[in-house]
Amino acid sequence: MAHNPLAPEWLSSPADANTLTDGLWPSSARRTDDGAITIGGVSAGDLAAQFGTPLYVIDETDARTRAAQLRAAFDAEFARIGTTVRVYYAAKAFLSTEVARWMVEAGLNIDVCSGGELAVALAAGVAPGRIGFHGNNKSRAEINDATRVGVGTIIIDSPVEIERVAEAAGRHGMVQNVRLRVNSGVHAHTHEFLATSHEDQKFGVVFEDAPALVAAIRAQPSLNFLGLHCHIGSQIFGVDGFAESASRLLSLQADLLAGGPVPELNLGGGFGIAYTSVDDPSPVADLAAALADIVAAECARRGIPVPVIAIEPGRVIIGPAGVTLYEVGTTKPVRIGENTRLYVSVDGGMSDNARPALYGAEYSVRIADRVSEAAPALVRVAGKHCESGDIVVDADYLPGDVAPGDLLMVPATGAYCWSLASNYNYVGRPAVVAVADGEARVIVRGETIDDLLARDAGVPRSAHEVSTSSTGEVSTSSTGEVSTSSTGEAGSTGEAGSTGAAGSTNDMKETTR
Ligand code: LLP
């Protein structure tokens, strides 16, 4: 078929727009005989009926397996060069207590970058010693809390933090392990990396300043210097950027060894994943092997011991394990000259996936509750928000008979979708459901209209209380004020059952229109 000029160069019309492209989907994703996509043995239709749409779905086995396999690959490769690896899961990609426990059970530590993420990790029962605390502007309260609970490491990101962390640790009568984040001057993004001498960015200390700052850390009796840290970017496909950065950091490491021990080196996260059929990230095992070779060679060249290595991947663990389920509300063929793009609007959008709007991120899509023989049509999946940049999938092909009521599934939404979600247009954030072995369960409930009203100090509480019903329906009081149910109120404190009801969030949305 001729290339539709409205499609990006890389996207060609597939022979079959029902196929689940390799590498994009959670490992349990299948099409069953009736044409439905199942994840973890639960069909898209059942998920939508039970929990409503939009819905984040995480394949629990896949997430756990990715975490365990990554750790095993790094353990094996770094054992080969005579050292060990600490793997931290970068919680910013997706964090709930449940997911934190999966990661710990897979042998990972947890990397947090705010007091909120720290609170969730602690609520999950993660041992504080397994937590690394990041941030370029940690508040004094955050530093105080982190030292008080005894987090394993704090990553110092600017000179002023040396005293702040030392003082907080001293106050709690403990010695805090710290790393120093250094700007290695390498910045990588997907296929390319840039190496500049003075990169202009907010993270890390200036490379040349590191020796003096390490001396200042060593001079603090309440701090224990573990080593250097660098993170060169995210969604990186190749190994060259990591190699360049590791090489620079190890040259610094060699200098620092003259002044005392430097037992560890943290190389950060950033391993990329596939979002479309043409994305081709390096497999984790290849990255592990290549990084181990580089570290071994650079240490040998400088005659220094191989340090304990730490890494902090997020996306590569949780990203491919997650999908988002939507329902199609409207379709609209838009003719541009000789060509047509079919706009397919779903019941979510930039509030549940900000990445296309924020970064121009590309995604893929499939009809999730049926297969179709209809000729593939170029589609753009748009959200329901009042903004033309509200796009979920900029370009993919779906069977041309895609229609209102169809369920759509967007793969690879496990990372940086829920964590970046917003309430734009007062759309509640969807629930997160974990699926495994034919069972689905809510791990984070969706937001109700009550949740959205709960923090608005101007909502008349008396009218609100009088007119609520126990069924979760929105009703209008005699004074004409729109109000909501008391079940939602209970739900907002985290009680079970408030989201589990079939489509409750959607029902409420409908009745408020
Ligand atoms: N370590 C540090 C210090 C980081 O800043 C990050 C990500 C990671 C680890 C984990 O990176 P990952 O392995 O997940 O790529 N919101 C953007 C990504 C921002 C990443 C920020 N830092 C996105 O949606 O693409």
Write out pLDDT tens, residues 298-319: 999 999 999 999 999 999 999 9
Closest protein CA for atom 22 of ligand 1: 234
φ and ψ at residue 193, rounded to 5 degrees: -130, 150
Task: State residue 55's pLDDT score.
Answer: 99
Task: State residue 221's pLDDT score.
Answer: 98
The answer to whether 312 is a known ligand-binding residue is: yes
Average pLDDT over residues 323-342: 97
Cα separations in angstroms, 307 against 83, 262, 266, 298, 509: 7, 7, 10, 11, 55
Instruction: Please state whether the predicted TM-score (pTM) of the whole model is above 0.75.
Output: yes
Pick the range with the lowest mean pLDDT from 12-16, 39-43, 81-85, 488-492.
Answer: 488-492
Specify the ligand 1 atom closest to the Cα of 155. 3
Would you say residue 475 has pLDDT above 80?
A: no
Q: Residue 93 Cα, ligand 1 centroid: separation in angstroms?
A: 7
Task: State residue 463's pLDDT score.
Answer: 53
Closest protein CA for atom 21 of ligand 1: 234
Write out pLDDT tens, residues 388-441: 999 999 999 999 999 999 999 999 999 999 999 999 999 999 999 999 999 999
Would you say residue 114 has pLDDT above 60?
A: yes
Would you say residue 199 has pLDDT above 90?
A: no
The answer to whether 355 is a known ligand-binding residue is: yes
Q: Residue 272 Cα, ligand 1 centroid: separation in angstroms?
A: 10
Write out pLDDT tens, residues 285-300: 999 999 999 999 999 9
Would you say residue 210 has pLDDT above 60?
A: yes
Would you say residue 492 has pLDDT above 60?
A: no
Q: Residue 278 Cα, ligand 1 centroid: separation in angstroms?
A: 22
Task: State residue 195's pLDDT score.
Answer: 66
Q: Does ligand 1 lie within 6 Å of residue 204's CB atom?
A: no
Would you say residue 64 has pLDDT above 90?
A: yes
Specify the ligand 1 atom closest to the Cα of 315. 14
Q: How many CB atoms lie within 10 A of CB 483?
A: 23
Q: Does ligand 1 lie within 6 Å of residue 268's CB atom?
A: yes
| Distance (Å, whole) CA 460 – CA 473 | 18
Owner of token pair 């994840």 = 39
| Distance (Å, whole) CA 126 – CA 425 | 35
Task: State residue 465's pLDDT score.
Answer: 54
Indicate the top mutation candidate among 234, 311, 352 to test ligand 1's pocket, ranked by most ligand atoms within 8 A of CB.
234
Closest protein CA for atom 12 of ligand 1: 270
Average pLDDT over residues 109-117: 98
Task: State residue 383's pLDDT score.
Answer: 98
Would you say residue 469 has pLDDT above 90?
A: no
Q: Provide the residue type at 451 as one letter.
A: D
Q: Does ligand 1 lie within 6 Å of residue 348's CB atom?
A: no
| Percentage of the residues of the chain whose pLDDT score is greater than 90 | 85
Task: State residue 187's pLDDT score.
Answer: 83
Pick the range with the lowest mean pLDDT from 136-140, 443-447, 469-473.
Answer: 469-473
Closest protein CA for atom 8 of ligand 1: 269
Q: Residue 270 Cα, ligand 1 centroid: separation in angstroms?
A: 6
Closest protein CA for atom 18 of ligand 1: 234
Task: State residue 510's pLDDT score.
Answer: 32
Q: Does ligand 1 lie within 6 Å of residue 134's CB atom?
A: yes
Write out pLDDT tens, residues 413-425: 999 999 999 999 9
| Distance (Å, whole) CA 311 – CA 382 | 36
Task: State residue 301's pLDDT score.
Answer: 96
Q: Does ligand 1 lie within 6 Å of residue 270's CB atom?
A: yes
230 flagged as catalytic: no
Average pLDDT over residues 230-243: 92
Closest protein CA for atom 15 of ligand 1: 270
Q: Which two tokens stand for residue 77?
A: 């490769």
Q: Residue 107 Cα, ligand 1 centroid: separation in angstroms?
A: 20
Residue 41, by phi and psi: left (phi above 0), alpha (psi -120 to 50) or beta? left
Average pLDDT over residues 370-396: 98
Indicate the top mutation candidate among 86, 92, 187, 422 to test ligand 1's pocket, ranked by most ligand atoms within 8 A of CB.
92
Would you say residue 272 has pLDDT above 90?
A: yes
Would you say residue 505 has pLDDT above 80?
A: no
- Return the SS3 of 75: helix
Q: Residue 91 Cα, ligand 1 centroid: separation in angstroms?
A: 9
Q: Does ligand 1 lie within 6 Å of residue 66's CB atom?
A: no
**321 in Cβ contact with 24 (< 8 Å):** no
Q: Binning pLDDT at 50, 70 and 90, where does residue 472 land? A: very low
Catalytic residue among 113, 230, 386, 417: 386
Q: Residue 254 Cα, ligand 1 centroid: separation in angstroms?
A: 28
Pick the range with the lowest mean pLDDT from 124-128, 162-166, 250-254, 483-487.
Answer: 483-487
Average pLDDT over residues 185-199: 71
Dihedral angle of Cα 453, 455, 457, 458, to the nearest 10 degrees: -20
Would you say residue 485 has pLDDT above 50?
A: no
Write out pLDDT tens, residues 358-372: 999 999 999 999 999
Q: Which domains are seen in the chain, by residue range?
A: 30-59+321-444 (2.40.37.10), 83-318 (3.20.20.10), 447-513 (no CATH)
Would you say residue 495 has pLDDT above 60?
A: no
Q: Does ligand 1 lie within 6 Å of residue 269's CB atom?
A: yes
**410 in Cβ contact with 396 (< 8 Å):** no
Closest protein CA for atom 3 of ligand 1: 231
pLDDT greater at residue 5 or residue 504: 5
Average pLDDT over residues 150-176: 98
Task: State residue 235's pLDDT score.
Answer: 94
**67 in Cβ contact with 89 (< 8 Å):** yes
DSSP bridge pairs for 88: 109
Dihedral angle of Cα 57, 60, 64, 66, to the nearest 10 degrees: -50
Mean pLDDT of the chain: 90
- Return the SS3 of 117: helix
Specify the ligand 1 atom closest to the Cα of 319. 14
